[in-house]
Amino acid sequence: MFSTLQMVRGVSNWFNDGVGKNSWPELVGANGEEAATVIEKENRNVNAIVLKDGTPVTADFRCDRVRVWVNDYGVVVRAPRVG
């Protein structure tokens, strides 16, 4: 069984191994669907999921997931990041 510290180190190594970008603050204000496309092009190891801001989600951390939070108009309202 892995300790929390081992898991954190593993995630840190995953990011630092040149696997891909892990946050996209420049996409705040962009169209959510277009942002998801950009994210998946810039990091082929993630699946970008567009969600309305405030949608309930699980609290687990996943290295292969990026949530793209949008408002009622489909505009990104938070910086998308791996998690």
Task: Encode pLDDT of 42-52 as tens digits.
Answer: 999 999 999 99
58 within some domain: yes
Which pLDDT score is estimated for 20? Answer: 81
pLDDT at 18 (0 to 100) = 52
CA dist 23 and 39 (Å) reads 9
- 3 located within any domain: no
The answer to the question of residue 14 being in a domain is no
Rounded distance between C-alpha atoms, residue 65 and residue 25, angstroms? 16
Residue 28, domain member (yes or no): yes
Question: Could you tell me the CATH number of the domain that includes residue 76?
Answer: 3.30.10.10
3-state secondary structure of 50: strand
Which residues, given as ranges, of the chain have pLDDT below 50? 1-10, 12-16
Question: How many domains in the chain?
Answer: 1
Please indicate, yes or no, if residue 34 is contained in any of the structural domains: yes
Nearest in space to 27 (alpha carbons), one of 42, 6, 46: 42
State the pLDDT at residue 7: 45
Host domain of residue 76: 20-83
